[in-house]
Amino acid sequence: MLIYFATLCHNYELRFAWQMSSIIQQKGNVPGLLIDCATLEGDDNPLRFPPELFPGLTYYPTDRETFARRALTRTQQIQRAIDAKADWVFFADCDHIYDPRFFCRLRDHLVRECANVTNCIHSKWKQHTLVEPTNKACEYFRANPVMPHAWAKATGLPMMVKRVRDIAAGCMQVCKLSAIIEKTGGVYVAADKTKDGHLFNKGQRAKSDIQFRAAMGGTTSIDLPTQVHLQHRRDKEEGHHIDDQR
């Protein structure tokens, strides 16, 4: 089984390094993973996670107008997943940390009860850290590429109290690649149909995720270990795009 893990990273290098640390530390019968990290063309951030530490990781420089709207970038990632002959696409955000058996458990679900599922698969269990302690902890990655015990360090951070919502989100949409091709023609959301905001104007509001899930026929919920979201300042709360490193 080959899972194509599609994410974007612009000024989230510290959190992405934490995510990659948790992926490197996966245990058990882990599926094949290719990490597609779309980046802004011309932005060679020195804090970028070294791809040589995970051979399945590739950075894909993306032009500004494509990168500004997530639907356009994810359409390019779908095409690369097709080229890679992947079985599944995992659309992800680059600031989530995974339990060491997360991908082993995901594989089990995909092989068994989800083998014939053709909509978006997700897991509702998630915790959100507090911003300031997380920012402080992320400073570790300014001098170190990999954090030992990445999952344990993430779960040790102070957490927000948020109710569990049993709905999918753009941070975890796992779809059979053949179903994406059949239902959307290999397009996340067409450029002339996407409701995404422009990232570099007032900040990205990625409404294309909702459009994509509708096109795929809704969602299927599975029970996976809790993900930890490394909370941060948000464009939509500030009212403009934030260029701070996160």
pLDDT in tens, 186-234: 999 999 999 998 888 866 678 999 999 999 999 999 999 999 999 966 5
- Closest to 88 (Cα-Cα) out of 225, 226, 222, 245: 222
Cβ contacts of residue 131 below 8 Å, gap of 6+? 231, 232, 233
Identify the helix (H) or strand (E) that includes residue 120: strand 120-122
pLDDT reported for residue 242: 65
Res. 69: pLDDT tops 70: yes
Res. 123: pLDDT tops 70: yes
- Closest to 76 (Cα-Cα) out of 90, 60, 93: 60
- Closest to 119 (Cα-Cα) out of 189, 216, 244: 216
pLDDT band at 171 (very low <50, low <70, confident <90, very high): confident
Q: Which of 81-85, 180-184, 202-206 has the lowest mean pLDDT?
A: 202-206
pTM, two decimals, is 0.94
Residues 204 and 238 sit within 8 Å (Cβ to Cβ): no
**Greatest CA span in the chain, whole angstroms?**
45
Please, what are the domains in the chain?
2-238 (3.90.550.10)
Residues 96 and 230 sit within 8 Å (Cβ to Cβ): yes
Q: What DSSP string runs through 59-94?
A: EEEE-HHHHTSHHHHHHHHHHHHHHTT-SEEEEE-T
Two structure tokens written together for 140: 């570790």
C-alpha 91 chain-centroid distance: 5
> How far apart, in Å, are the Cα atoms of 105 and each of 44, 110, 154, 169, 239?
34, 9, 19, 19, 38
pLDDT band at 152 (very low <50, low <70, confident <90, very high): very high
DSSP 53: G
Interval 88-106 mean pLDDT: 97
pLDDT reported for residue 206: 83
Q: How far apart are CA 28 and CA 75, in angstroms?
A: 31
Helix (H/G/I), strand (E/B), else coil: 39 = strand
Q: How far apart are CA 4 and CA 231, in angstroms?
A: 24
pLDDT reported for residue 197: 86
